[in-house]
Amino acid sequence: MRHFFVITFIVAVSLAMLTSCSNEQSTTGVIEIDANINYPELDIKLSDIADITYVPLKMGKDATLLINGAPIRGIFVMSDKIFVADNNATYPKIVVYNFNGEPLYQIGETGRGPGELSGFFHFAVDTIKKEVYIWGTMECQLNVYSIDGQFKKSKKEFNRVFITNLENINNKTLVGFTPDAITFLPEWLSKKTGINIKNSGRSITYFNKDDLSLMDIPDIGYSRIHIEKTGTGSASITTTRNGSYLVTLRSDTTYFMDNYLKITPRFVDITDYNHKGELSIFPVLETDKYVFLTTTIAIGGNYDHNSIKYLAYDKDQHMIFNIKNNSNSDAAFRDNIKILHYNKTLNSNYIVKSFGYKFLIENYKNLPYELKQITDQMKEDDNPVLMLIKFK
């Protein structure tokens, strides 16, 4: 690894040996990635591995409006419903739509009381228990609703709990992840700066779903060497069928938490980035065959979008590939695998892209036929259109 990380984790953390610098990777060990390497090229189309549906979100009788469109990891898709987080400061809520884009009901009321929201929030859905869990960051409160929108219970006044992600990790446990948390300052940096920081926040917080209590499980003891970098925010968790990837720009290692809460290092980014604004590599989706990864960029930085790297790790061949560049043709709009970048959802097999009216008009000539038809019926102040990408 490029940097040394101290991990103190009682719940079964096992470190594996790094593999060789060749492109052949181990299935169980840590996988090194250097985005500057000229990896073999992979020519893959989105339509080869996914089904695509377009859903124009209608306003509804109460003029329901998604102020910021579809947020990262702010969408959960069921067989007949789409849960969309509307994180606006005035009227935060979850709006539930059907696949025709018609609003069915909302979850959450405005305020600071039980079950209420006064600002930004994160949520997770458990389809087995048929419950929706909402963490209100302003209220420091965990709310529980039934999956059809009925308030059930809530708990607040959690001591020193700050969460930028919420994940339904198994049938008993919710995991809150805070990629910016500082739990340990390396000794060499303490000597250099004269600052000694310890236990200033948890990276991972565990909630018991039944009584909403905090579970007594030790945190990951990251050594936060990259203290000058911002965190990855809502993009810091990638949901898979068997667990979740945990990413922070303050660490060059992507960890994997399985459904039994076992944490292991999975990817190590050894890239020497040459383009201003590029920071690190993180996974955005895992299918049966591939783990798709991309380089992230600094918010507000002066960067070139064309320099962003798109990679795929082939789990069968144990190899890393560069994803072939697609053209800007009509077909590419629908088939470009690079749409994976920053479009995560709370599902393991869904990516969702949001298109507003202005974007659709400006790119009208390159739109697929069915999206052109939808655009023809839209007005400037309409809700966005969701591009639901379901991986096979």
Spatial separation of the C-alpha atoms in residues 246 and 156, rounded to whole Å: 25
Higher pLDDT, 337 or 371: 371
- Model confidence at 64, pLDDT cuts 50, 70, 90, reads low
Between the ranges 59-63, 150-154, 233-237, 295-299, where is the mean pLDDT highest?
150-154
Model pLDDT for residues 104-124, shown as the tens digit of each residue = 999 998 998 999 999 889 999
Q: How do residues 271-307 score in pLDDT, each as one tens digit?
A: 887 765 667 888 999 999 999 998 876 555 555 666 7
Distance CA(318)–CA(325), nearest Å, equals 22
Helix (H, G, I), strand (E, B) or coil at 190: helix
- The matching CATH number, chosen from 3.30.428.10, 1.10.3370.10, 2.120.10.30, 3.20.20.70, for 39-391 is 2.120.10.30
The predicted model scores a pTM of 0.85
For residue 211, what are the contacts with CB-CB under 8 A and spacing of at least 6?
none
In angstroms, the Cα distances linking 218 to 183, 244, 261, 271, 338 are: 11, 18, 11, 31, 37
* Terminal C-alpha separation, the chain: 34
pLDDT in tens, 206-215: 999 999 999 9
At 270, list the tokens.
């050894």
341 has a pLDDT exceeding 90: no
119: which 2 tokens? 């600002």
Report d(CA 258, CA 244) in Å as an integer: 6
Three-state secondary structure call for residue 307 = helix
> Over the stretch 190-202, which tens digit does the pLDDT of each residue have?
677 676 655 557 8
* Residue 160 confidence (pLDDT) above 80: no
Q: Where are the domains of the chain?
A: 39-391
Of 175, 156, 155, residue with least CA distance to 165: 175
Q: Quick one: pLDDT at residue 66? A: 61
